[in-house]
C-alpha cells in the first residue's frame, strides 16, 4: 500500500524522551486511525494541512498485528466512508492517535495514487497496510 513510512517528529520525540530521558511518559492511544492526504505539504512538519476534508470524509480506525520482526500490518479491511463529493487524488496515508485532531504518528506515500470521486469508496484490504521499523 505504501512505499515506505516516516515517523513523525511528535513520535520521534516521544520515543527518545521515553527511553533515553528516564521514563518520560508516553500514553498508548486507545485506537489508531488512518487519514488520507492529497500531497505531502505540511505532513513533514506534522501539520496535516492536505488531509482530505468534506464529502463525508472521516479518518478510519485500523487494527494491526503484533510485530515480532519489526513489521506490522492491518488485520482487517480499512474501509473509508463513501465519498459524497470528490476527495481528489490520494497520494499519502497518515496514522493518527485520534479520529480528529490528535497527533500524527507515521505517514507514507501510496504505491499507486487513487482518485476518489463522489460515490467512490476508498478501501485498504487486509494486510495491505504495513509499517516496518529497521
Regarding pTM above 0.75, the answer is yes
* Residue 39 and residue 92 in contact, taking contact as beta carbons nearer than 8 Å: yes
Q: Minimal CA–CA distance to 58: which of 115, 100, 86? A: 100
Whether the CA torsion 112, 50, 88, 72 is positive or negative: it is positive
Amino acid 72: pLDDT: 93
Percentage above 90 pLDDT, the chain: 62
For the stretch 43-82, pLDDT in tens is: 766 666 789 999 999 999 999 999 989 999 999 999 999 9
Q: Say yes or no to pLDDT of 3 above 60.
A: no
Amino acid at each position: 500500500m505504501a512505499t515506505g513510512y516516516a515517523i513523525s517528529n511528535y513520535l520521534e520525540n516521544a520515543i527518545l524522551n521515553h527511553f533515553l530521558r528516564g521514563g518520560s511518559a508516553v500514553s498508548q492511544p486507545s485506537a489508531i486511525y488512518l487519514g488520507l492526504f492529497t500531497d505531502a505539504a505540511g505532513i513533514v512538519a506534522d501539520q496535516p494541512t492536505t488531509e482530505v476534508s468534506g464529502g463525508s470524509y472521516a479518518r478510519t480506525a485500523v487494527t494491526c498485528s503484533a510485530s515480532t520482526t519489526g513489521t506490522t500490518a492491518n488485520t482487517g479491511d480499512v474501509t473509508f466512508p463513501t465519498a459524497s463529493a470528490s476527495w481528489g487524488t490520494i497520494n499519502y496515508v497518515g496514522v493518527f492517535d485520534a479520529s480528529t485532531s490528535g497527533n500524527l504518528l507515521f505517514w507514507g506515500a501510496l504505491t499507486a495514487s487513487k482518485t476518489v470521486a463522489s460515490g467512490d469508496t476508498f478501501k485498504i484490504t487486509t494486510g495491505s497496510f504495513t509499517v516496518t521499523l529497521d
